[in-house]
Structure formats: C-alpha cells, structure tokens
Structure 1
C-alpha cells in the first residue's frame, strides 16, 4: 500500500504488462473463473509472496493451517517469501509479474497495476472462488469492497479487517481547554490550543508518507464522497475544483497551526507512536492493528486511562455519514491463474474456511462476520469499544489514495504534501502542480 520506487522500474513493468494483455493463460494454468478444475489433488510445494509482518497474526495463522494441511497431505508445503517493507515488496512483485514469475499466491492492493494483471487473465476471480467455497456471503461487505477494482470486480481475498481512528489523550485536551473536534475544520484551532499549552498536537509518521496522505484523502471524502478519487485519477475531476482547493487549503492550515511535530517528515512509525504513548503528543491517527499497543496493559500506566478515540469527523457540509471512513482490509491475497490446480484449490478451501476463527482468536478483527474477536485478557475497555465501532461502519468507505493514484502521481503527491504542510508550497501551487502531474500520468495507467 505504501510505495515508492524508481520510475525506470515502473516504466519497465508497465510496458511489459501492456504487452501481455489479452494473453489469459499463456504458459499454462486455467481461466480466472475455472475455480474447480478437474483432476486429482496431488500434494506439492506452493509459494506465497507476501508483504505481511513475519511475526504478525496473518502469517502465524496461515503457517499453522499449512502445517495442519501438510500433516494430512504428505508432500505439501507452503513456503513464505516475506518482504514486510512495502515499497521493496511492490518493486519485487511488479518485477516478477512482468517476467511472468509470480508464485501460486501473492499479495497485492487493488491498484491499477493489479487491474492490468487481472485483465490479462493472470489472477483467479476471487468472488467466484469464495462462492465456490461457500464463503462469499460470510465476508464483511466493507472487507470485500476494499479489495475491489473500480468496476466492482473482485480478484483479491481479504485476510484482515481494520478501522482507522484518531486516538487522543483526554487529559492533554482537557488541560489545553479543547474538546474533541466535531469537524475536520476544527483541527487547526485544536492544534493551536495544544501547541499553546506546550504539547505536540498530532504525532505523525511522516517517514512512511501514507499517514499524511490519509489526511489529504479524508477531507475530499467528507465533502465529495468516495467517487472523487476515482474521478480524479481518471482525469474526470481536478484538484482545482472546489473540493480539491478546499482540501489543499485545509492541509496548509494544519501546517500553519503547527499540528504535527517538528521534523515530522523524517519521523518513523515507532517514534511517532512513542510520542503519543509517552504522553508528549495529544492525537495519533492509526488503525485497530495498533490496539495491542494502545489499549492493553502494555501501555504506560501514566497515560493508559487517558487514551480514547474518535472516528474521523465530518466537515461542516459532509456528504458521507459519521460511521463511514477508512476501513481497510489490508493488502489482499491474489491467486495465480497460471499455477492454479486442484491442490491449490483444496488447500485454499481448507485454509480460508478455518482462517477467520483462528485469526480472531489472536485478538484481531476477522474479515468475516462469523468470527468474533477474542479480546485479550490484558485489554483495557478501549479495546472492546474500538472493535465494536469497527463492526458498525456504513456502506461507503474512504479508499487510501496511495492505492488509487498511479505510481508517478502518487510519489509526486506525497512529496508535495510535505512541502505544502511545511509551508514550502502554497495550496495554489500544490493544486496546479498536482493537476498537471495527474493529468499527464493517471488516465493512461488507470484505464
């Protein structure tokens, strides 16, 4: 989801993919909808190219399931090729795709690049696969919708479900004399008050770039709805319109109000989180994947009882509901149509049927509705409340822009966002520059 890589690699992979379009099953395999191929289940080793943390619940759960399957199917083995660093993973994934060397399973966001793979017949139809397993209707609609391409097709299987919130320190807001913002437009005033009280208003992981891009996506989602980014990346909307101008002006105002810590662009994930959990920052935007650090006894007792959360607030004139915001289901799992066979199908049915309950038992939100999260024994009340809110989201979700914009536009967008918030670029210059970049690169990549 978080990507940045050399333009030469992007150009190479894109040109090679374009040359592959229309060659659905070149090199063997099956058609994307042939989810139940004939033949015996003959155990053999398969590989999963993935970008999940090696010690995370997704891999540990799947590793255990693979061992169980192997015990009953001697000769089977699931090899994990893990690259947790997302930019490095994306470069590896796209290079292997262009060379036609992707393994049986591989991770991908629902990017324009992935859509080209699907159109070339390189990925199994995930909707058809899940229906064949009798699992499709058990998945959370939001988890599936996050993995869909713009045309509604589904080629990626969600293994997670998350909700993103603003966590905040009640004591720090109270001492600064401010309340939880009821509108995104209230953020600058909140930041000025907190800064005046000697507190860093908002902790931001600027090094990874995507957190700041979330702020850029939230405002247009509230004022124009989820369709805005789709129209923008196709050249059917412009940042120069009212929605885009207001978002750029709001971001510039956040910078002038001193919302983020000094030098935020070089601060990494761990340091940003520590700034909040140590009580030195009042607000921190993150997702339910961080509950183990924010809502258990692992959190410093000095701030533990003061941590709460609020969902992304509306603007003064919203078109989306308060329970509609970013609810990602993580990077999805794609199934290679070229290597799909009875063994791959049999293992996936075995694993995906059992996966949600096992995953939820680890304190995680499963992508299906039939698996209840087991709240850890050391959890604070905040843990269960955050889980409950994630289960009550609306129908429309805010898509992260880093999975929607083409790589060239996204890289430039992230770079210029930093300049905008630092005050080194005006909102007008940001809008003009980005409109030019998107207009030049996005439509040909997204179509």
Structure 2
C-alpha cells in the first residue's frame, strides 16, 4: 500500500522520456550507452529509499555503459494512472507498484506487465521468497493473486501494528494492552482525560486499514481467503464486517477517533503522532524508519493489534516490468541487485523488513525488534493482506465508506451495502 510521506510528494509529470537502447528481453546489439528508466515512490529517508539508492549505485558500477534515470512518483498518483501510462509508448523499464487484484492483477490481465516467471526461476527469486510472500507476486489469468505466473518481485515485507507514545502512556498511568478489552479500556481512559487516543487519516488508507483490522479480530483464515482470493462467498453483513463497521462508528462517537480526521491525509496523521499529539497510531511498518529518525520528543514503541490472530500485511510493494519496457534485460539485472544480501541488510538496518537479509547483519536494536515482530506474525500465518485489494477501484470505495462512518452520514449497515456492491460486481465479471 503505501503510503506515508510519498502521498505528500508533489505530483511529477506522468510520462517519462522513453528509455534508450534495444527493445524486449535481449540486450542491445550496439555497444553504445543505454538508459534504464526506474520509477518508485519511496522517499529518500525511508528504508526502501535508502536501499534502492544504493542498488542504483551498484547497478551503475556493474553496468558501466548504462545510466539509471530515476523518477520519483507518488503512490496515489500511480494508483490512479498506471494503466493509462503503461498503455502508452512512454513507460519506465522497471517500476515499483502496489500488489493485489485491483492493481498488479488488473494490469497483468490487461497484458500491460511482463510475465517474470522464467526470470524468477532462473535467478532464484522463487527460492528466496517464502510461499506466503509469493502470493501477491503471482496471478492467474483472471488477475487474481495466488496464481501461477510471476508479475511482481517483492524484496521487502510489511505489516501493521500499533505505534504508541510511551511517555503519554506512563504519564497517564495506562499499561500497554494485551487483549482487545484492555485496548478498548485504554482508549476510554485516554478519552476521559481529554486526549483523543488514535491518530487517524480518513482521506487515505489508514481509516480503511483500521476498519479491516477490526473485522480481522473476528475472522479466521478461511474468511480472508474468501474475501481476498474468492475462495468462498463473503457475507458483508456477517459477524466480521458488521463488527468492524459498528465498532468503528462507535469509536468515533465515543471520541476515540476525531471527526476532524475525515479530511486528513496520511502525512497529516504521521506528523501529528511525531509531534506527540496522540498516544497511538495504527499503521504499517513503512512508518518505522520515519518515526525512528523523526520522533525526538518522546520514547515510542510498538505492539501488535491486541486480540487478533490476523493483521494487515504481506510482501511489500514489488518491482514490475512493463510489457513495453525497452530494456527488460537491464530491468531484470536491477531487480536481482535489490535481492542481494548487502542491499537487503541495508534495508533491514534502515528500518525496513527485508526478505533475504542475513539476520546477524541487522545490528540496530529497534530494527531487530521490528523484524522480530514481523517474524512472529509470519510464523503464525497472520498476514491478511489489505481491504482494497479484491477489486479494481475498491480503494476509493473503502475510503469513501469509512469516511461516511467518521462523518456519521450513513449507518454502518448502509456502508456495508456500498462495500458489497462493487465487490460482487467484480466477482461476477471475472466469473467467480
């Protein structure tokens, strides 16, 4: 998903200058200079941004006749325009893109992405990534994840957790909760002291993430597989989503979530937590490096959402190679470098969750804590993906629905009806 500060980056021009060199998978027959055009939306101070910058240096050192042309794009920008851009004659050679049926799955079904299966086998990417991480890299002919063809290569993982201000917890005599009841009690205790407990963004993904996490507290793996992979029927008025909608609306009414958050974006939420205005923020590991570098006024920590066997998470956003890439051979080489131990170790030591690092090479205490927390989730098969993934355009549907819960403009049952419509329409369209 992603995310965080990238959403605040000023929109760049959508179309990149076409890359030079030969077309297709094979290297150029000339010995002249070549260009690898690379797009991603990680900020320079993020763990991934630092790792990819080092990968670019290593790529250029090992390809002296090639220059990397890097262009930073916004996550929201690419979410909305990727199909149009990749259907043009001006595309990057390799780019970071969101995973899931609604994004990579849709583009693969439209023939806009290169089938990376031969390269995944040849270069051993299939051996480096666990089966659970491969789920979002592989798609079937319908564009549904968990298929048999590789269309993306993830090189980091991600998951959600509660970030908390240890100083505010201690000052107000509140203990770190370990159950959902204790978590609710903590929310109530902060509210009674005049403190809104949860930093929130209703205009972007965070509110939808919390909504989905509430559903996951009542869910098991078969429900996730039905909702995300269409392996069964999803009842939008069943106990999982009914609990999510009613509880989220109730938390707003009780003041656990501010009504003003309906119009706030991800960076607004993050900045407010960094400023020490909120005791808690529920979001993903992509914030970890930012908080590690930017939080100066208080001590902070993390814990998994209490009382839930499942949490949002998966392999991270992944590299895809557009079908119209003019330098696919160079794109494969670059992806391969990002999977190397030294790049993975840098990612881990910068606050990311690497997928192929040397565990002994991760030296920073907080980063070890993050990776340990992720390993706990992964080991219990606790990664449950994200709510906007099942259907194209579903991100906007989920965001609008949860905004209505924050604003109180629609009852929970009506919001669930609005979530069910586009989901079921897409299921019928793909023959589910």
Pick the TM interval, shorter chain: 0.7 to 0.9
Matched, 1:44 2:34: yes
Confirm or deny that 1:236 pairs with 2:233. yes
Superposed CA deviations along residues 355-377 of structure 1, whole A, max 9, x for unmatched, are 3234334343322143656445x
TM-score normalised to the size of structure 1?
0.77
Mapped partners of 2:246, 2:165: distance in 1? 27
Q: Does 1:331 align with 2:317?
A: yes
What is the CA–CA distance in structure 2 between the aligned matches of 1:346 and 1:413, rounded to whole Å? 37
Q: Counterpart in 2 of 1:444?
A: 429
Q: How do residues 412-427 of structure 1 correspond to structure 2 at under 5 angstroms?
A: 412-427=397-412
Q: Compare 193-202 and 95-104 and name the one that shifted more.
A: 95-104
Residue in structure 1 matching 2:94, options 94, 105, 116: 105
| 78, 95, 108: which one aligns with 1:89 | 78
Deviation per residue, 1:121-178 (Å, 9 max, x gap)? 5434445423311343233555433444433343211132233210223453455554
Tell me what 1:17 maps to: none
CA distance in 2, matches of 1:56, 1:64: 13
Aligned equivalents of 1:57, 1:280: Cα separation in 2: 25
Say which of 382, 392, 401 aligns to 2:376: 392
Q: How far off its partner does 1:72 sit?
A: 4.4
1:257 aligned to which of 254, 258, 265: 254
SS for the counterpart of 1:264 is: helix
**Which stretches in structure 1 are left out of the alignment for 5+ residues?**
4-26, 31-36, 316-320
Within a 5 Å distance, the mapping from 1:164-243 to structure 2 comes to 164-173=160-169, 176=172, 178-184=174-180, 187-207=183-203, 209-228=204-223, 231-232=226-227, 236-243=233-240
- Maintained 8 Å contact 1:41/1:343: no
Q: Summarize the Cα distance change of 1:415–1:39 in structure 2 as closer, same or farther, 3 Å threshold.
A: closer
Determine helix, strand or coil for the equivalent of 1:258. Answer: coil
Root mean square deviation of aligned Cα:
3.4
> In the alignment, what sits opposite 1:366?
354
Aligned residues: 400
Report the Cα distance in structure 1 between the residues aligned to 2:104 and 2:368, rounded to whole angstroms.
Answer: 35
Q: Give the whole-Å Cα distance in 1 for the aligned partners of 2:71 and 2:411.
A: 43
Tell me the distance in 2 between the aligned counterparts of 1:72 and 1:225: 47
- Aligned pair 1:155/2:141, yes or no? no
- How big is the shift at 1:212? 0.7
Contact residue 48 and residue 352 of structure 2 kept, 8 A: no
1:130 — aligned with what? 120
User: Hey, what's the Cα distance between the residues in 2 that align with 1:279 and 1:66?
Assistant: 36
Q: 1:116 and 1:270, CA in 2 relative to 1: closer, same or farther beyond 3 A?
A: closer
Distance 1:446 1:191, change over 3 A: farther
**Deviation for aligned residue 1:337:** 4.2
Matches within 5 A, 1:272-287: 272-287=269-284
Question: Partners of 1:79 and 1:266 in 2: how far apart?
Answer: 35
Report if aligned partners of 2:198, 2:257 keep a CA contact under 8 Å in 1: yes
1:79 aligns with 2:79: no
The answer to whether residue 309 in structure 2 is matched with residue 312 in structure 1 is no
SS at 1:224's partner residue? coil
Taking the aligned partners of 1:191 and 1:251, their CA distance within structure 2 comes to 13
Please state how far the C-alpha of 1:211 moved relative to its aligned partner: 0.6
Query: Which has the higher mean CA deviation after the structures are superposed, 176-185 or 360-369?
Result: 176-185
Q: 1:203: Cα distance to partner?
A: 0.9
Question: Where do residues 55-66 of structure 1 align in structure 2 (5 Å cutoff)?
Answer: 55-66=45-56
| TM norm structure 2 | 0.79
Q: 1:295–1:383: 8 Å Cα contact kept in structure 2?
A: no
